[in-house]
Amino acid sequence: MKKIAAVFFIMLFIPFFAGAEGFTDILDLSEECGCELRFDYWKGVYELRKGRAAVRFSSGSPWYLVNMNELRGGIETELTSDGRFLIDKDTAADVAAFFEQQGPVIGGIRYIVLDPGHGGKDPGAIGYYTSGGEKKSLQEKDVVLKTALTAAEMLQARYPDKEVLLTRGDDRYLKLEERTEIANSVELREGESMIFVSVHANASFNSTARGFEVWYLPPEYRRDLLDEDQYDSVDSDVIPILNTMLEEEYTIESVILGEKLLDALDAQVGDISINRGPKEESWFVVRNAHMPSVLIELGFVTNQDEAVLLSSPSYLKKLSKGIYNGIVDFINDYERTRGYSE
């Protein structure tokens, strides 16, 4: 109710006021640059967006955030008693020039990172099952590698213009921080984004536990997305605010990605396995990938029936197809809503 009231309030009063001396109203600026203006009433965050280019302002902060990764200072803002957000004219001119330079919208999801868990000396979860009267074992590292490799192949074929990266493409050991480092070291150009999908298989002392699930970071968790050293002159109080501004976007996208993956896996294997739904947890790789990121558990190697399934190439193919479909669905939505098309 308050949000609606605030918007109404602004709309009602805006025609009666001219810009204050030396300041530009953010509404006028949005019109001038052809941007969409978004306002988060609770956080006091204003966002101007045009295609992939975005500038965010936080009322009371001497800093503003350009394209979610560049912090610029020296801004003076004013929140008037009638609810208008004003920006000093110099900064307003800089922001208008920034949007002017953007040119045609390009970009979208440029990189897809698939992270098959474990590997090498680390087998991950190990399950045992009986097939044809023979006792066999199954290692998580093999299940997830095969599944991720097939999904990566399908994605690369579908998107020749995007890069599908695997944190490992064979049976090798990688530390957790090496996995996120691979993803975080990718240099994105203006307007480009990426996603991170870690692939695992589950284990439980309860041998009846079975099914697939997708994990993402709890919304209340705040990652250190901005490196404080990079902005040593910044008032340290501002860093958490800016992180929240970034975090908001990544969290929402991670949840959407997780839901799409669950739906797609369900469509592939929901009749044979069980959809255990979305989960929230701050796994290391999910927590440290500075981009929308999720972790998939394909099934339980410790469940007899599921271990039989997870050792079958045709079942793994279905899981790969599910991952592929979920990611394609996410990318379609992500790029369409931001004005990109193939």
Binding site for Zn ion (CB under 5 A): 117, 124, 200
**Whole-number minimum distance, CB 199 to Zn ion, in Å?**
9
Contact status, residue 216 vs residue 255, Cβ threshold 8 Å? yes
In the numeric block, the tokens 């044979």 are attached to: 272
Q: How far apart are CA 195 and CA 293, in angstroms?
A: 6
- Sign of the dihedral defined by the CA atoms of residues 255, 261, 264, 270, in that order: negative
Q: Is the CB of 200 or the CB of 318 nearer to Zn ion?
A: 200
- Sign of the dihedral defined by the CA atoms of residues 216, 222, 227, 231, in that order: positive
Q: Is the CB of 123 or the CB of 270 nearer to Zn ion?
A: 123
What the block records as the tokens of 287 is: 């927590």
Whose CB is nearest to Zn ion?
A: 200
Number of Cβ within a 10 Å radius of residue 25: 21
Residues 6+ apart with CB under 8 A from 211: 273, 274, 275, 276, 299, 300, 306
Buried/exposed 220-238: b ≥16 CB within 10 Å, e otherwise: eeebebbeeeebeebeeeb
**Whole-number minimum distance, CB 309 to Zn ion, in Å?**
17
**Whole-number minimum distance, CB 124 to Zn ion, in Å?**
4
Q: Is the CB of 159 or the CB of 196 nearer to Zn ion?
A: 196
Contact status, residue 247 vs residue 40, Cβ threshold 8 Å? no
Q: How far apart are CA 50 and CA 65, in angstroms?
A: 14
**Whole-number minimum distance, CB 260 to Zn ion, in Å?**
21
Q: Is the CB of 108 or the CB of 117 nearer to Zn ion?
A: 117
**Whole-number minimum distance, CB 88 to Zn ion, in Å?**
51
Q: Is the CB of 226 or the CB of 309 nearer to Zn ion?
A: 309
Q: Is the CB of 200 or the CB of 223 nearer to Zn ion?
A: 200
**Whole-number minimum distance, CB 125 to Zn ion, in Å?**
6
**Whole-number minimum distance, CB 194 to Zn ion, in Å?**
22
Q: Is the CB of 217 or the CB of 238 nearer to Zn ion?
A: 217
Q: Work out the angle between the directed axes of helices 89-101 and 26-33 (0-180°, nearest 10).
A: 20
